[in-house]
Structure 1
Amino acid sequence: MSASARQTLSRIETLASVNSTNDHAWQLLTDGNKSPFVCLAEQQTSGRGRRGKQWQSPAMGNLYLSLFWPFAANCPPRGLSIAIGVTLVETLNTFGINNLQLKWPNDVLCKGHKLAGILIESRYNGGYNTVIGVGLNFRLSPDLQQIVDQPVTSLEQQCSQLPCRNQLAGQLIENLIEAVEKFQCNGLNDFLQSWHSMDLLFGHPVEISNDAETFSAIAQGINANGELQYLYKGQLMSLSSSHYSIRLSL
């Protein structure tokens, strides 16, 4: 990590075990820690994914980190997961990890299998206090792969040689800081073209569902606000809510 990135952060905390790095970041804020800051953990006992799903987070040398960042009231972090997803893929590319795609709104996949996930939580208090959580699989146990409800993979399965976790974490944190600073200035303008080149769903039939409904559509990429666009009954629609589940139709 560069000296300028370290100076941007008031705190970098590493933990052996925590309920979730996102929850710990919120607690650090409650305790009065000056922001922005980062926390990392070897294990999460109650890791969370999108829509309240559990993120399996065993102590197997994976990467679990959260960056706390305060956004001003005139800069809501709408669509931020787009910028973070692009940044995560580009960081992995620099370590020789390729064949990666992004699935709206916050999953990184390798050859159709989930490699990493992003969970962004924001609370308004005169500005938008925001926690950016990233979980990246370095290794997976056979037992873990059996209990996850979708195809998953790890860097160990995709790389002939695993990258240094500390080096990757440091570079990722530095790149995330740069990404949120760009987002503050230009919104998603600096990330849209890259997302389009990485978009797993574009042009494919998808199943969109929540607790109340399920319907089929054709994914049409994202708009300037980071919303998913799709064709439904001949009309171009957009979806902003991450409370929907999006799956490629078989």
Structure 2
Amino acid sequence: MSIESTRGSAQVEWRVDRLAAIDSTNEEARRRALAGDPGGLWIVAGEQSAGRGRRGRNWVSPKGNLHASALLIDPCPQARSPQLGFVAGVALARAAEDLGAAEVRLKWPNDLVLNGAKCAGLLVEGLSLADQRMACIVGIGINCARAPEGVGYPTAVLSRDDAGAIRASDLFERLMKRFAEALDLWAQGEGFAAIRAAWLVRAAGIGSLVRIDDARGRREGAFEGLDADGRLLFRGAGGIEAIEAADLWISPASDGAPTTAASGSLAREGPA
């Protein structure tokens, strides 16, 4: 199966390689890039034996969940490549909405949450190739059948608003289409303002109390939105800061206890 993305500097015709099992779809995409694959490739696995998240943490990858990675070659100037996490996040949210999960929200920088619990994550990785081109790999893992337990934060299975199940195969078909559309809208970074706007419409925790941990330590404040480059706008005791890399927790209004934990560096979180 293929799907075309025609806007931008070049036409992309996406190919799909479906595998029963693999160590990691991101690792397979990396191997394909190093072997000379031209990009425009989705790798989908029924299960992973060595899926990973941020900082090499294990990502539980059982059968029934969706494990997929998109390989792109030279999709944009290198400085704009972290924006791909937001592009993929918008595409994933739209795909979930298409299938009846209207209550999903995006959590900075690139988690998908349902009622405050993480149901999907993203991992964007890049590597320089021998011919000086850049390969970008967007890994997406979604809990369609099972949600991991004992991971230190709430998790959930992605489901429709009526609690009906969403099959991994159906979600991937919508995700392919929505990712191609989001890439066209993004236009190699020229259209990031439109992606940012679409992300903010679905943002979890705008105006909420949050806690961040970064190089400056732990502190509490308010999540005010995103700046023009996708950095988190954090209002703390010293005013508003633009945060590019941090661990973030959103606190519910009820008791102030942290509910969902996420990410470190900009657009680099989740599974693959």
Q: Which residue of 2 aligns with 1:248?
A: 250
Q: CA deviation at 1:3?
A: 4.8
Partner of 2:266: none
Over residues 1-35 of structure 1, what are the superposed CA-to-partner deviations in whole Å (9 max), with x where a residue is unaligned?
76536x93463111111111111100111122221
Q: Cα gap change, 1:180/1:127 in structure 2, threshold over 3 Å: closer, same or farther? A: farther
Which residue of the partner structure matches residue 4 of structure 1?
4
Runs of 4+ in 1 over 6 A off after TM superposition: none
Q: CA RMSD in A?
A: 2.4
Aligned length: 244
Distance in 2 (alpha carbons) for counterparts of 1:32 and 1:151? 40
What is the correspondence of 1:64-83 to structure 2 with a 5 Å cutoff? 64-70=67-73, 71-73=75-77, 76-83=80-87
Length-normalised TM-score, structure 1:
0.87
Q: How does 1:41-56 map to 2 (within 5 A)?
A: 41-56=45-60
| Partners of 1:202 and 1:221 within 8 A in 2 | yes
Distance 1:37 1:2, change over 3 A: closer
Amino acid at match of 1:152: T
User: Paired residue for 2:172?
Assistant: 169
- Contiguous gaps of at least 5 residues in structure 1: none
Gapped regions of structure 2 (runs ≥ 5) = 6-10, 252-256, 258-272
Task: Give deviations 1:189-229, integer Å, cap 9, x for gaps.
Answer: 22222222211121112111147722222111101111101
Asked whether the equivalents of residues 78 and 134 of structure 2 are also in contact (C-alpha less than 8 Å), the reply is no
The 5-angstrom pairing of residues 187-226 of structure 1 reads: 187-210=191-214, 213-226=217-230
Aligned amino acid, residue 15 of structure 2: R
Contact 2:45 2:67 in 1 (8 A): yes
Aligned 8 A contact 1:9 1:35 in 2: no
TM-score w.r.t. the length of structure 2 is 0.81
Q: Which residue of 2 aligns with 1:135?
A: 141
Other structure's SS at 1:101 match: strand
Q: Percent identity?
A: 27
Deviations along 1:124-166, one digit per CA (max 9) or x if unpaired, are: 454431001111111116xx32x22110010358654323432
Q: Comparing 215-224 with 111-120, which one deviates more in the overlay?
A: 215-224
SS at match of 1:16: strand
Change (3 A) 1:161 1:74: closer
Matched, 1:231 2:235: yes
